[in-house]
Amino acid sequence: MSADHDEVEKLPPGTSERQRWRWSMDFDEDFGGGFAFGTLLLRDDGQLLCAHGDDVSHWFALRTYPPTLALVDVAADLTARGYDLYEPDRLDDRGSVIPWKPSRTLQDRPS
């Protein structure tokens, strides 16, 4: 999150959504333990936003990636930072979240 945790506009004029993930994170006991979840949104300008829990009306800036960075590389960085990534709006037949799997499609890299 940004140092001041200010809310940011989800999609300011001239930007669009490039990728959305559901996320979860299990915190180490050194950090008090616990579990958090929410939604991550990567805009086409490289800005990564985060909403906590099920509330997607409040977005906070996490970090900025180069806009041309492949989604698989953004996901690898997030995973290395402790995020578990899931499909944004899909559940399996048991009602469980589905882990996000990268694909190397034309949509993986912005034009």
Tell whether 3 is covered by a domain: no
Cα Dmax for the chain: 43
The reported pTM is 0.80
Tell whether 74 is covered by a domain: yes
Instruction: Please say if the pLDDT value at position 35 is more than 80.
Output: yes
Structural domain of 102: 19-108
Q: Are strands 59-64 and 7-8 parallel, antiparallel or unpaired?
A: antiparallel
Tell whether 24 is covered by a domain: yes
Q: Which residues pair with residue 49 across a beta bridge?
A: 41, 61
Q: Report the domain count for the chain.
A: 1
Write down the pLDDT at residue 4. 53
pLDDT band at 3 (very low <50, low <70, confident <90, very high): very low
pLDDT band at 103 (very low <50, low <70, confident <90, very high): low
Tell whether 73 is covered by a domain: yes
Tell whether 1 is covered by a domain: no
Rounded to whole angstroms, the Cα distance separating 33 from 51 reads: 20
Tell whether 5 is covered by a domain: no
Which amino acid does the sequence have at 86?
Y
Write down the pLDDT at residue 96. 83
Query: What are the tens digits of pLDDT across the range 38-85?
Result: 999 999 999 999 999 988 999 999 999 999 999 999 999 999 999 999
The mean per-residue pLDDT over the stretch 76-100 comes to 88
Give the whole-number percent of the chain exceeding pLDDT 90.
Answer: 59
Q: For residue 98, what are the contacts with CB-CB under 8 A and spacing of at least 6?
A: 86, 87, 90, 91, 92
